[in-house]
Chain A
Amino acid sequence: AQTVTQSQPEMSVQEAETVTLSCTYDTSENNYYLFWYKQPPSRQMILVIRQEAYKQQNATENRFSVNFQKAAKSFSLKISDSQLGDTAMYFCAFRSNAGGTSYGKLTFGQGTILTVHP
């Protein structure tokens, strides 16, 4: 079974600064996806960024980028030029891409509450 661990329950950052959220995972599989989802207060969870394990290049989406270290099973999220709207709970998630009975379900970490201060 896969596990996902986020060791930072809470983080804070000043507006326009950069912050990095940590995530580690444990799996015996070689083919999988990793995700960062954002859950703003009282709003639905939305996808921030996705990484396919077979791709060596780190994914980037505008101000969001990841540092994917496959051997270390580490997947951190860097938010540059933080904005007030980035305040949310952030979840790291794992999805097997091995087919079979995975059916696309996600395994989530415990989450990190990020607060961006003006």
Chain B
Amino acid sequence: DTGVSQDPRHKITKRGQNVTFRCDPISEHNRLYWYRQTLGQGPEFLTYFQNEAQLEKSRLLSDRFSAERPKGSFSTLEIQRTEQGDSAMYLCASSLASWDDQGDTGELFFGEGSRLTVL
């Protein structure tokens, strides 16, 4: 198992462009989370998937942001019409648990993140 992988690791784009990040979770994990981390701050929750269902979205996730997990495996996070305030590290994490949290140790396994710089 190679852990959670994210691609690309770094992305520099101009304001107004669209960007897409991909996350491959640990293969047997059914829960997948996206977080955003700005410099010197703790990660902030963006959205969560249980299998292919997107079950929660933060108010931080404006309508320019969309996330998918079409087959319950990898996930993509797309940001349309990027703004300079979108510059951040986008972290993906995964875990394994049933709907009633049985078997859930609470630990999230994180990827190394995708750093976005909007010029």
* Interfacial residues, chain A to chain B (CB-CB below 8 A): 4, 6, 9, 33, 35, 42-47, 50, 91, 93, 95, 97, 99, 101, 103-111
The reply to whether A104 and B97 contact each other, CB–CB distance below 8 Å, is yes
Tell me how many residue pairs across A and B have CB atoms closer than 8 Å: 65
B106 touches A105 (CB 8 A): no
Let me know if B101 and A99 touch, CB within 8 A: yes
Contact among B40, B104, B113 for A104, CB-based, below 8 A: B104
B residues contacting A by CB (< 8 A) are 3-4, 31, 33, 40-45, 48, 50, 55-56, 91, 95, 97, 100-101, 104-108, 110-113
Name the CB-closest residue of A to B107: A47
Is B45 a contact of A45 with CB atoms below 8 Å? no
Decide yes or no: A104 and B110 within 8 Å by CB, A44-B4, A109-B42, A110-B41 being known contacts: no
Q: Is the CB of B110 within 8 A of A95?
A: no
The smallest beta-carbon distance between A110 and chain B, in angstroms, is: 5
CB distance from B42 to the nearest CB of A (A): 3
Asked, given contacts A44-B4, A99-B100, whether A111 binds B110 with beta carbons under 8 Å apart, the answer is: no
Q: How far is the CA of A38 from the CA of B55 in the complex (A)?
A: 27
Instruction: Tell whether, in the assembled complex, residue B31 and residue A103 are in contact, meaning their CB atoms are under 8 Å apart.
Output: yes
Contact, CB under 8 Å: A108 / B43 = yes
- Check A44 against B108 for contact (C-beta < 8 Å): no
Q: From A99, which residue of chain B is reached at the shortest CB distance?
A: B101
Docked pose: A93 CA to B100 CA in angstroms: 21
